[in-house]
Amino acid sequence: MTGRARVNGVDLYYEVVGEGEPLVLVHGSWVDHETWQRVVPRLARSFRVLVYDRRGHSRSERPPGQGSRRQDEGDLASLIELLGAPAHVAANSFGASTALGLATRRPELLRSLSAHEPPLMDIVGDGDRQLRPVLRAMEAALDGVLAALRAGEDRAGAQRFVDDVAVGPGGWERLPERFRRTITANAPTFADEHGDPDWARLDVAGLDGFPGPALLTFGSESPPWFPVIVGKLATALGGRARMRTLVGDGHVPHLTHPDRYADDLTEFIPSAEAEAEAQAQAATARRPASRRLTTPGGPG
């Protein structure tokens, strides 16, 4: 099923496939819902899967003016309610930042959360001295990308992002032309995301209010700041979080190893829910029995 939803003042394109518990997939920057197509058929065997184009991407509306990640969080909340809350959410990159932000504000909407490599650079912190040189190099590369985009050179900026930030030299030329067109078309939204002063921030302490299970992952081939970010998120979530290194993967495991990604997610959700239920039952059993008050003639 395909459709358009009018939420928070914008039209969003979405697709729903499969039967079962609701699962929403949230894509990262530059791309759109099609980045999930390699995993949707496998996930749809177990879940009712919703994929969508985030605002400003591909078939969804791109509103004028400066946007914010908080708007993306509101869009995700509305789509979860449309699909049937609470829902499982799996998200990548900036989409993972969006899902985590929603978990701090509307935790009741998320039944579980799987997040891969959210670029929450502000939580890395100045104390991680060994990362400073690579972070400075990344920031310089991003400055070059944003300068090209703000000059209206969308394709050049997209190529610089792929070659200098995301993949490495020659990465742009190895991409199919269809994918290059999608990235170029969504380039203005990437610039808009970085115009939001809160794009890389998260109320980490607010994750304490999220009661559900979480799977936090990073790739063994990814830049070294992602393990730091994921580790700090896992600490904030405590025993509710599983942290995992995806060996051989980088920033988009659902594209590089789609079967493994789908199988990991399909295994994680029911096992994590069963574990959470067992923990809740154990906590209930440990509570001291309270004295039952009775009234004459009432139940004993």
Q: Which of 238, 51, 216 is nearest to 118 (CA)?
A: 216
Section 191-206 average pLDDT = 96
Q: Cα separation of 71 and 77, whole Å? A: 10
Please name the residue ranges forming H helices in 84-224. Answer: 94-105, 132-150, 154-161, 171-174, 177-185, 187-195
Q: Which of 128-142, 218-232, 251-265 has the lowest mean pLDDT?
A: 128-142
DSSP state of 61: -
Exposure of 269 in the CB half-sphere (CA atoms within 13 A): 23
Q: Which two tokens stand for residue 267?
A: 């295994």
Alpha-carbon span 18 to 49, nearest angstrom? 6
Q: Tell me: the pLDDT tens digits for 63-107?
A: 999 999 999 999 999 999 999 999 999 999 999 999 999 999 999
Please state whether the predicted TM-score (pTM) of the whole model is above 0.85.
Answer: yes
What the block records as the tokens of 28 is: 């990262």
Alpha helices in the chain (DSSP H): 40-43, 69-83, 94-105, 132-150, 154-161, 171-174, 177-185, 187-195, 225-237, 253-256, 258-286
> Residue 129: is its pLDDT beyond 80?
no
Residue 215 pairs in a beta bridge with 114, 242
